[in-house]
């Protein structure tokens, strides 16, 4: 599986956009980028995924660079409930979802 | 509201006892994953199934762990005999086939082996 690199932690002010970076320089052409988050004591929650194009849903936006070696998850208006560990995952054709350490995001009032 | 259901939510057992954790995947989902989460190791993929057949269980300790899908509505993870180092939260997830599909997680079973 292609490896991902994320910052260990980041803080964000409530109401501001949170931009979470992820590097995946060894990604292959048919591998998708997935983002999940895990709020304390809960199961991981799907956020968004993409292949090449930027994606947006009701939770977040995903910006993938043209060379696909990195991506950014954007939470447009962070709330206290967005405090969680965010995981960037590269998924290949064996369908596995392999989680790394993720980024611990703390949203502060 | 479709969701993955895991039972029990909490389990405390004595070392050496058999433990069975159950998962009901979302109806229609044919891919099922089992994960284990500890503070030290994070989220580890133990095994996953497609159409009830195991595709990869390389993450699972073979001597004491076993995973099965008796039917499409039930996945089980058994530990026999259990050891204190098996204490963790075990998550099940299900999804449809394909790389372009999301997997949904259950709330987990918190296992404590004393």
Specify whether the CB–CB gap between B75 and B25 falls below 8 A. Answer: yes
Residue whose C-alpha is closest to residue A63's, from A14, A13, A17: A17
Chain B residues near residue A51 by CB distance under 8 angstroms: 100
pLDDT score, position B15? 97
Q: Where does residue A102 fall: left (phi above 0), alpha (psi -120 to 50 degrees), or beta otherwise?
A: left
pLDDT score, position A98? 87
| CA–CA dist B84, A103 (Å, integer) | 29
Cβ pair A30:B99 closer than 8 A: yes
- Out of B50, B93, B99, the one facing A93 most closely (by C-beta) is B99
pLDDT score, position A96? 82
Interface test with A, best of B46, B88, B96, B99 (most A CBs within 10 A): B99
pLDDT score, position A1? 58
pLDDT score, position B97? 78
pLDDT score, position A16? 96
Interface test with B, best of A31, A94, A97 (most B CBs within 10 A): A97
Q: Using CA atoms of A103, A104, A106, A107 in order, give the dihedral in degrees to the nearest 10.
A: 40
> Does residue A27 belong to the interface with chain B, where contact is any CB pair within 8 Å?
no
pLDDT in tens, B40-97: 999 999 999 999 999 888 889 889 999 999 999 999 999 999 999 999 999 999 998 7
Q: CB neighbours of A39 closer than 8 A, spacing ≥ 6?
A: A45, A81, A83, A84
Count of CB atoms within 10 A of residue B32's CB? 28
Report the sign of the C-alpha dihedral through residues A56, A62, A64, A68, in that order.
negative
Cβ pair B42:A44 closer than 8 A: no
DSSP at A81: G
> Does residue A35 belong to the interface with chain B, where contact is any CB pair within 8 Å?
no
Cβ pair B35:A99 closer than 8 A: yes
| CA–CA dist A102, B42 (Å, integer) | 9
| CA–CA dist B49, B37 (Å, integer) | 19
pLDDT score, position A2? 65
Specify whether the CB–CB gap between A83 and A39 falls below 8 A. Answer: yes
- The overall longest dimension of chain A from CA atoms, in Å, is 41
Cβ pair B104:A46 closer than 8 A: yes
| Parallel, antiparallel or unpaired: strands B109-113 and B10-13 | parallel
pLDDT score, position B62? 87
pLDDT per residue rounded down to tens, chain A (109 residues): 568 999 999 999 999 999 999 999 999 888 999 999 999 889 999 999 999 989 999 999 999 999 999 999 999 999 999 999 999 999 877 778 889 999 999 999 9
Q: Where does residue A68 fall: left (phi above 0), alpha (psi -120 to 50 degrees), or beta otherwise?
A: left
> Does residue A39 belong to the interface with chain B, where contact is any CB pair within 8 Å?
no
> Does residue A95 belong to the interface with chain B, where contact is any CB pair within 8 Å?
yes
Q: CB neighbours of A66 closer than 8 A, spacing ≥ 6?
A: none
């Amino acid at each position: 599986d292609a490896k991902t690199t994320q910052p260990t932690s980041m803080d964000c002010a409530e109401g501001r956009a949170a931009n979470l970076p992820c590097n995946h320089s060894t990604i292959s052409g048919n591998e998708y980028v997935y983002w999940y988050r895990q709020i304390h004591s809960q199961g991981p929650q799907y956020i968004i995924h993409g292949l090449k194009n930027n994606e947006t849903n009701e939770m977040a936006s995903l910006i993938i660079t043209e060379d696909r070696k990195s991506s950014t998850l954007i939470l447009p208006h962070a709330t206290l409930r967005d405090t969680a560990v965010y995981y960037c995952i590269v998924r290949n054709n064996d369908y596995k979802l392999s989680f790394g350490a993720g980024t611990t995001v703390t949203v502060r009032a | 509201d479709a969701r993955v259901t895991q039972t029990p939510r909490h389990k405390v057992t004595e070392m050496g006892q058999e433990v069975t954790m159950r998962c009901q995947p979302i109806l229609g989902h044919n891919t099922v994953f089992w994960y284990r989460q500890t503070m030290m190791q994070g989220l580890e993929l133990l095994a996953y199934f497609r159409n009830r057949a195991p595709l990869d269980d390389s993450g699972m300790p073979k001597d004491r762990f076993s995973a099965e899908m008796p039917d499409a509505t039930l996945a089980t993870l058994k530990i026999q005999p259990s050891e204190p180092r098996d204490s963790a939260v075990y998550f099940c997830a299900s999804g449809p086939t394909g790389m372009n599909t999301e997997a949904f997680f259950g709330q987990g079973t918190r296992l404590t082996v004393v």
